[in-house]
Chains A and B, each alone.
Chain A
Amino acid sequence: MEKILNDFSVGLVFWQAILFVALLLLLRKYAWKPILTSVINREEAIKEGLESAEKAKEQMRQLKEDNKALLAEARMERDSIIKDAREAKDKMIAEAKEKAQEEGAKMIENAKSVIRSERTAAVNELKSQVAGLSIQIAEKVLKSEVSSDAKQQEIISSAMQNANLN
């Protein structure tokens, strides 16, 4: 203890106090203030950067969600359009079928009536032709039957015989 007290030097305390305080003031002005300011500035810049990145990420997420919603909407719209189209197609096909059937039926009916009238005409014609032919045949037969006198005599006689003149 005595040795420590003996070593204690007022001069050293005096000079060290001066030097230390001078160092403190100089460092405060030329080192600590600029260093701490730069460090704080950089920390803030980093913080801001991180925040803006976070914000951008959030925006991206929002955008993606919007896109998803939009896509879903579009898909729904497409589905409904397809459904409408299918319904329209079915309806059209059904209508066309009905119309075609109607038309066909009508056409068949027409054809039938035409055939009927044609047949009547044909039968009538056939009838008249058959009559003409019969007359012609009868004419030819008569012509050939009564061409000879004997035949004429015979016919007359037969006719005379049958005709009982009472």
Chain B
Amino acid sequence: MGKNILSVLLFALFLAPNLSFGSDEVTTENIDAKAQKNKEHKEYINHHLQDSYDFTIWHEYGIGFPLPIILIDEGFHIFSSSNFHHGETVAESNGKFYKVYHNKIYRTDAEGTITLDDHHHPTQVKPLDLSITKNVFTILIFSIFIFLLFRSFARSYGENQIPNKIGRFMEPLVIFVRDEIAIPNIGEKHYKKFMSYLLTVFFFIWFLNLAGMTPLGIGVTNNIAVTFTLAIITFLITLFTSRKAYWGHIFWMPGVPVPMKIVLAPIELLGVFIKPFALMIRLFANMTAGHVVMMSLIALLYIFPNWFAKGAFLSLTLFLSILELLVAFLQAYIFTMLTALYFGGAVAEHDDH
């Protein structure tokens, strides 16, 4: 109960700077203003979900710090993102000029001209962008955090074999991954070599999902590139650990008539790629949808002038944020579980079924 009150207070605190918005009266004169505001909210949400070149927690107030930009464009170009002044100016590095347009860096001239083609795409060259963006920075910070957390947990096992407080909380989860995810899906014989990956992926996704739930706007699991990388790693591990039986099942399905084998082969082969693709889309879509819904509800608080409506939306937001806490765990679980399932298929032996 005390914690719920705390969350309400935290939300109130988070919303406090903009509460003046809510008292606006809706009149015919400011319908245009209202449409403008809706557009602003939409942009705000999009912006919140996007990666950015500097680590801003509160971009209206400029709370944050710049991050390094690394470009490969006939040599390395490394400079601070503050040179862009939040995308408003052209940054110069080693005689080349760069400008941010729609959250991407393009090479331009000193004036920063961006010419668009028929599809509204800039015609300027996009250099290979290896910048330490907000998402990269968040992943780095959380990787260090996860590493330190679990190392201290691992070290705390003493003679009496009882871990420290973090360990006592995390150990059941580690055992859960082993007993409920790895062993049932991979099997007693092969599960051990996949444990490190399964545990890392589980805690990585879970912690980053939780990080995305904070109002800091550091959600990285709602970025398709992040889920793509995780899915690709799962895909590669599946390929490199697969046995003969796995490919046998794909190209020459045992136990079905020959015409069926021929029909099934392309379907199964497609399945090899669809599986990691589904992993990627599922995590991305779930986290993005969660954030959009949450932020839309918060935006509704500003749009509705009625205080009762505000109260209702606040409780709905609170309820949904608790639901999102569950989803954060659930998506980590599902990703890990499906990964284990694919590994299980890859290492399955002929007489396993």
**Minimal Cβ-Cβ distance residue in A for B227:** A16
A16→B225 CA distance, assembly (Å): 9
A8→B51 CA distance, assembly (Å): 10
Q: Nearest-CB distance from B118 to chain A (Å)?
A: 14
Q: Cβ of A31 and Cβ of B161 under 8 Å apart? A: no
Q: Mark B136-148, 1 if CB is under 8 A from A, else 0.
A: 1001100100110
Q: Cβ of A30 and Cβ of B151 under 8 Å apart? A: yes
Is B331 interfacial (CB-CB < 8 Å)?
A: no
Q: Nearest-CB distance from B133 to chain A (Å)?
A: 6
Interface size on A, residues (CB 8 A): 34
Is A42 interfacial (CB-CB < 8 Å)?
A: yes
Q: Cβ of A28 and Cβ of B196 under 8 Å apart? A: yes
Q: Which B residues touch A28, using CB under 8 A?
A: 196, 200
Main secondary structure of the interface of A (DSSP, over half): helix
> Which residue in B70, B104, B199, B228 is a CB contact (below 8 Å) of A27?
B199
Q: Mark A1-34, 1 if CB is under 8 A from B, else 0.
A: 0001011111111111101111110111011111
**Known contacts A11-B133, A27-B147; A38/B229 CB under 8 A:** no
Which B21-56 residues have a C-beta within 8 angstroms of A? 50-51
Q: Cβ of A27 and Cβ of B161 under 8 Å apart? A: no
Q: Cβ of A12 and Cβ of B200 under 8 Å apart? A: no
Q: Which B residues touch A26, using CB under 8 A?
A: 147
Is A39 interfacial (CB-CB < 8 Å)?
A: yes
Which B155-188 residues have a C-beta within 8 angstroms of A? 155, 157, 161, 163, 167, 171, 174-175, 178
Q: How many A-B residue pairs have CB under 8 A?
A: 128
A7→B220 CA distance, assembly (Å): 12
Is A141 interfacial (CB-CB < 8 Å)?
A: no
**Known contacts A13-B228, A15-B130; A22/B171 CB under 8 A:** no
Q: Nearest-CB distance from A22 to chain B (Å)?
A: 7
**B contact residues, range:** 35 or more
Q: Cβ of B132 and Cβ of A23 under 8 Å apart? A: no
A95→B141 CA distance, assembly (Å): 109
Q: Cβ of A20 and Cβ of B229 under 8 Å apart? A: yes
**Minimal Cβ-Cβ distance residue in B for A12:** B225
Which A120-138 residues have a C-beta within 8 angstroms of B? none
> Which residue in B129, B154, B223, B230 is a CB contact (below 8 Å) of A10?
B129
Is A36 interfacial (CB-CB < 8 Å)?
A: yes
Q: Cβ of A35 and Cβ of B196 under 8 Å apart? A: no
**Minimal Cβ-Cβ distance residue in B for A28:** B196
Q: Which B residues touch A38, using CB under 8 A?
A: 154, 157, 161, 163
Is B97 interfacial (CB-CB < 8 Å)?
A: no
Which B196-222 residues have a C-beta within 8 angstroms of A? 196-197, 199-200, 204
> Which residue in A7, A11, A23, A42 is a CB contact (below 8 Å) of B143?
A23
Q: Cβ of B161 and Cβ of A19 under 8 Å apart? A: no
Interface centre among B195, B223, B229 (most CB of A within 10 A): B229
Q: Mark A27-71, 1 if CB is under 8 A from B, else 0.
A: 110111111101101100100000000000000000000000000
Q: Cβ of B225 and Cβ of A9 under 8 Å apart? A: yes
Q: Which A residues touch B146, using CB under 8 A?
A: 23, 27
Q: Which B residues touch A14, using CB under 8 A?
A: 130
A139→B67 CA distance, assembly (Å): 182
A28→B52 CA distance, assembly (Å): 31
Q: Nearest-CB distance from B219 to chain A (Å)?
A: 13
Q: Nearest-CB distance from A165 to chain B (Å)?
A: 161
Is B103 interfacial (CB-CB < 8 Å)?
A: yes
**Minimal Cβ-Cβ distance residue in A for B284:** A4
Q: Which B residues touch A10, using CB under 8 A?
A: 128-130, 225
Q: Cβ of A17 and Cβ of B199 under 8 Å apart? A: no
**Minimal Cβ-Cβ distance residue in B for A37:** B157
Is B353 interfacial (CB-CB < 8 Å)?
A: no
Q: Cβ of A16 and Cβ of B139 under 8 Å apart? A: yes
Is B153 interfacial (CB-CB < 8 Å)?
A: yes
**Known contacts A7-B103, A30-B151; A24/B129 CB under 8 A:** no
> Which residue in B104, B130, B196, B232 is a CB contact (below 8 Å) of A32?
B196
Interface centre among B178, B196, B232 (most CB of A within 10 A): B196
Q: Could you list 23 A-B pairs, sorted by A, with CB under 8 Å?
A: A4-B224, A9-B223, A11-B130, A11-B133, A12-B133, A12-B135, A12-B225, A16-B135, A16-B225, A19-B143, A20-B230, A21-B233, A23-B147, A23-B200, A24-B200, A27-B150, A27-B151, A27-B199, A31-B147, A31-B150, A31-B153, A35-B153, A38-B163
A-B pairs, 4 with minimum CB distance: A31-B150, A28-B196, A38-B157, A12-B225
Given A9-B223, A27-B151, A32-B174; 12 other pairs, CB 8 A cutoff: A7-B223, A9-B225, A11-B70, A12-B226, A19-B136, A27-B199, A30-B151, A31-B151, A32-B195, A33-B196, A35-B163, A35-B171
